[in-house]
Structure 1
Amino acid sequence: MTEDLRAAALEAINRSQAAADSDYPVVHLAPPVGRLNDPNGLLVEGGTYHAFYQFSPFHPHRKLVYWGHASSDDLLHWTQHEPAIIPDSYYDRSGAYSGGAVVLDEDEACGLPASSRYQFFYTGNLKDPVTDERTASQCLVTSPDLERFTKWPDNPLLPAHPAGYTAHFRDPQVWRDPDDPGSFRMILGVQREDLTGAALLYRSEDLRSWRLEGELSFPDADGAFDHFGYMWECPGLVRLTDELTGQVRDVLIWCPQGIAPEDEGYENIFPCVYTVGCLEGTELRECDGTFAEVDRGFEFYAPQPFARRPSEPGPVLLVGWAGNASQDDQPSIETGGWVHALTVPRTVALRGGRLLQRPAVPLPADAAALSIVGRRLEGATPIRELDGHGSWHLRLEADPADARWGLRIGDEACCVTIEFLYDDDGAARLVVDRSRSRYTRHGATRTVTLPAGTPPRLEVVHDRSITELFVGDGALVFTLRSFVAPGTTGASVIGESVHPVAGCAVCFD
């Protein structure tokens, strides 16, 4: 008898007590049960945001990956729906892996029926139970209404990897070619036969028949990415106009597995980086080989932008996985039977070639004004307005002359501290210390040197067990899982002259 995988997942969800866990976030999207990882198929439709994600409802007892599905009208409060993609076909029975979405406009039928208005591309994973040999294929699911999801009858669209590459061939992202109307492009992360990472580009006019264009290359990068890690995961391209130069640029964001950590930087198990250039054919030109991490925190991976229909343009919004490989041992798996979350959506901009990220939902004009102005020569001073709340959004700034300032989340015995330290020569560092929290295995303390001229401003989105830091103008972002004492609320400021920013705090719980 064939197992009903949809019914089994729904049963696991219905039995779940995850939402009752004191660590379960209020405004960050987390799984209803089990494990969440990469965001998938993000899209905006008529003012509603839909997030799909890698979902393992039976974790840790059984590793089988579905696509979970949730929606939101305000990017803060998420409603869970039934899983959208079930790994019940011969080509994905070992898991429906990551991918992206395309939303078709009325005049973009591409010869497709109305039931195909929403297109979801993903990697079907198949492992031989005897040899463990992997087969990866690229597959399609369509939906007429984001409630019903149908696998394309001629799946897989790309049944196997091309010659010269291994079976590590995955994570399709599809977008309209802005330079060739009526044409769509796909980028895939791959591993070459010499065990180095790369990305492949495909093209299609009908979203069904795809032809290989070639490997993404960097003619002006002096070989910087020729042997850059052993596998590239979750590659994606975002087109932005640089706020300083007015030039249109293509930002490549991807996760190169296997690059070596530095004394400061790329310290996560697998990092996520970006580089900037101009995509022409298969070449990312005017890219000099410079790259940087998208997020400097302990937990961040596989970000993806929201897809939009051409008739409903809007800001570029990015969401990442607030997790990483080998981090499934977090306290929540024991206390609530769930693990991991997505970041809050972020608006993305480019300034002088540097990626800027800010929370997509700004603080409201009537946000609370904090009573924290004054001198505090020692210790930390509680923020009265946050007392009793474990989920909040906060903006602070400091006097440039203050040599040490920051924030403490939690009590002194179990806390996370965020401090800015300034040397006599003006050099500035951010130090995030979670060594006294309940989760330190993959990093207890991290120091980040701030770019010169970074304004002494800090924006924090803290949500029970996850914290996101936006420093200065958003050029530095830091995501971490912040498991302080269960049920701990509030925060305290550190420093002599910390000021609230106008409309500076709102609580979510």
Structure 2
Amino acid sequence: MTTTDAALRQKVAERIRNYEHLVKKDVYRQHFHLMPPVGLLNDPNGLIEWNGVYHVFYQWQPFKTGHGAKFWGHYTSTDLVNWQHEEIALTPSDWFDRNGCYSGSAVIDDGKMYLLYTGNVRDEQGNRETYQCLAVSEDGIHFQKKGVVATLPEGFTAHFRDPKVWKRNGQWYMVLGAQSQDLKGHLVLFTADKLDNWTFQGIAAGNGKNGLEDFGYMWECPDLFELDSRDILIVSPQGLKPQGMKYHNTHQSGYFVGTLDETSYQYTHGAFEELDRGFDFYAQQTFVDESGRRILIGWMGVPDQGEEHHPTISYQWIHCLTIPRELRLDQEGKLIQKPVSELKKMRTIEQEHVYQIKRSVHSIPVDDITSAEVFIDQIETQKGFECCIRGVARFIYDKDKGKLTLERDRFENRLKEIREAEIEELKDLHFFIDASSIEIFVNGGREVFTARFFPSPGNKSFSISGRNETKLRLRTWRLQKEAGR
């Protein structure tokens, strides 16, 4: 541990102690989502399970609720429900990462955990430099930096980051998000026999390939993995323009289904599909756990999208991560997202009702709507219906138009804003509602809407109203982190 590293760790510890009481007073502090102890959280990093322990690292700026020189925060869990906040994994303390230990991934090799991440550096004039760096740990808690293992190739700007690493057929692969010098977004690929010796293999996908033209000025947080015999690329392109119901966040997240050629290192794929139809979802990452599941966790936020208006800022914290979601690929090539089964351990106080609604509003009894799960099925409706959550969020099913709409109050002025998706038939809805967030899984996870919201603390209502005759079954649970407590 260097002197700079030790000093930074001490400053963070003091910052947590100084603001711990204020942070805990916030009514919008979440019950079952991962948050920073203080300061700003964004991208999930290094998702992995090792020896029965799940590790979630995350981008962390502990000294303010804005962006800056990022640390790697760290949570661990044995059940994906109850989490322990560990000591800092990485600090921006060396010449190759002094302005930020940016996003990356974790792998296991020879009984050790390795982190690969982007080191961000600014010179005296503010010009950016970027390095791909390596750190190693014997126990998954304490990490020793090994320094730079890959540098910026020719033809790219310093927007070159977020390594995701995996091993296939005895060879290591690393994909990164990149921007070419003509300001186009790309996926680039490196290979290696050892984690400290990488060879650049070129552009694998992006602008100018697979029929993509003008598809964003930067691709962030790529993740290329095999799922149900196909190669899936999840990525967050910046600079897409809205198209109908699509691409209405400041930056987007989505996926391609295709094939990675292990000889030419080219990734061929089909159309881009959004991962989440809501307001707040970005920089997602996946991993395979020890039972073989592909699990995704995302950042419940979007860069440059109204962060300054979050009311949690006055309590010295901002942002959280999504719940863990298991991924599957259906026969039509659609990525399905389902809450991991472990979350059922949080369920307490179950209620079940069947409602017959005729152009009326039904207030739904939920034991604690600030930490709740709601499941709606057995839906029979002529025109559709809507759910209103705590007075500031509405989820609307319009059967005639074949459309779903999530509406919420803007944080800064309480004007309405919406996100939409097409749907042929609504079979079920699955809500996870926390103190300041909603995650809605539609038709078993074929569509997902994720959003932060900040209702009046006194408003704890959940209601359903019909546009005509509607019948449905509704089950609710109060959620607690430790079942039965």
TM-score, normalization by structure 2: 0.90
Contact 2:65–2:313 (Cα < 8 Å) also in 1:
no
1:185: which partner in 2? 173
Write the mapping of 1:19-418 to structure 2, written as runs, cut at 5 A.
19-60=24-65, 63-104=68-109, 109=110, 117-129=112-124, 131-152=125-146, 155-158=147-150, 160-177=151-168, 180=169, 182-217=170-205, 223-241=210-228, 248-281=229-262, 282-285=265-268, 287-288=269-270, 290-308=271-289, 312-326=290-304, 327-351=306-330, 352-361=332-341, 363=344, 368-384=349-365, 386-411=366-391, 415-418=392-395
| Whole-Å separation in 2 of the counterparts to 1:169 and 1:119 | 20
- The correspondence for 2:451, drawn from 473, 480, 484, is 480
Q: Residues 422 and 250 (structure 1 numbering): CA distance in 2 closer, same or farther, change over 3 Å? A: same
Percent identity, aligned pairs only?
Answer: 34
Q: Residues 95 and 485 (structure 1 numbering): CA distance in 2 closer, same or farther, change over 3 Å? A: same
Question: How far does residue 305 in structure 1 lie from its aligned partner after superposition?
Answer: 0.7
Question: How far does residue 360 in structure 1 lie from its aligned partner after superposition?
Answer: 1.0
- The correspondence for 1:419, drawn from 384, 387, 396, is 396
| Whole-Å separation in 2 of the counterparts to 1:323 and 1:419 | 22
Tell me how many residue pairs correspond in the alignment: 469
1:433: which partner in 2? 407
| Whole-Å separation in 1 of the counterparts to 2:8 and 2:440 | 38
Question: How far does residue 63 in structure 1 lie from its aligned partner after superposition?
Answer: 2.4
Question: How far does residue 342 in structure 1 lie from its aligned partner after superposition?
Answer: 0.4
1:463: which partner in 2? 434
Contact 1:203–1:212 (Cα < 8 Å) also in 2:
yes
- State the Cα deviation string for residues 178-213 of structure 1 (Å, max 9, x = none): xx2x21100011111111111111111111101112
Code of the residue aligned with 1:8 in structure 2: it is K
| Whole-Å separation in 1 of the counterparts to 2:373 and 2:60 | 27
| Whole-Å separation in 2 of the counterparts to 1:294 and 1:441 | 26
Q: Residues 120 and 365 (structure 1 numbering): CA distance in 2 closer, same or farther, change over 3 Å? A: closer
Q: Residues 476 and 440 (structure 1 numbering): CA distance in 2 closer, same or farther, change over 3 Å? A: farther
Question: How far does residue 273 in structure 1 lie from its aligned partner after superposition?
Answer: 1.5
Q: Residues 193 and 486 (structure 1 numbering): CA distance in 2 closer, same or farther, change over 3 Å? A: same
Q: Residues 75 and 439 (structure 1 numbering): CA distance in 2 closer, same or farther, change over 3 Å? A: farther
- State the Cα deviation string for residues 315-344 of structure 1 (Å, max 9, x = none): 100000010112322434334211111000
- State the Cα deviation string for residues 342-387 of structure 1 (Å, max 9, x = none): 0000000101111100111354698655353232334432222x14
Q: Residues 284 and 441 (structure 1 numbering): CA distance in 2 closer, same or farther, change over 3 Å? A: farther
Q: Residues 493 and 94 (structure 1 numbering): CA distance in 2 closer, same or farther, change over 3 Å? A: same
Code of the residue aligned with 1:9 in structure 2: it is V
Q: Residues 206 and 236 (structure 1 numbering): CA distance in 2 closer, same or farther, change over 3 Å? A: same
| Whole-Å separation in 1 of the counterparts to 2:160 and 2:322 | 26
Question: How far does residue 33 in structure 1 lie from its aligned partner after superposition?
Answer: 0.4
| Whole-Å separation in 1 of the counterparts to 2:202 and 2:128 | 23
Structure 1 gap ranges (5+): 242-247
| Whole-Å separation in 2 of the counterparts to 1:365 and 1:29 | 15
Structure 2 gap ranges (5+): none
Contact 1:405–1:498 (Cα < 8 Å) also in 2:
no
More strand by share: 2
Q: Residues 62 and 417 (structure 1 numbering): CA distance in 2 closer, same or farther, change over 3 Å? A: closer
Question: How far does residue 440 in structure 1 lie from its aligned partner after superposition?
Answer: 6.6
TM-score, normalization by structure 1: 0.86
Determine if the alignment matches structure 1 residue 448 to structure 2 residue 436: no
| 3-state SS of 2:312 partner | helix
Code of the residue aligned with 2:244 in structure 1: it is D
Q: Residues 7 and 442 (structure 1 numbering): CA distance in 2 closer, same or farther, change over 3 Å? A: farther
| Whole-Å separation in 2 of the counterparts to 1:140 and 1:23 | 36
Code of the residue aligned with 2:333 in structure 1: it is G
1:6: which partner in 2? 9
RMSD between aligned residues: 2.4
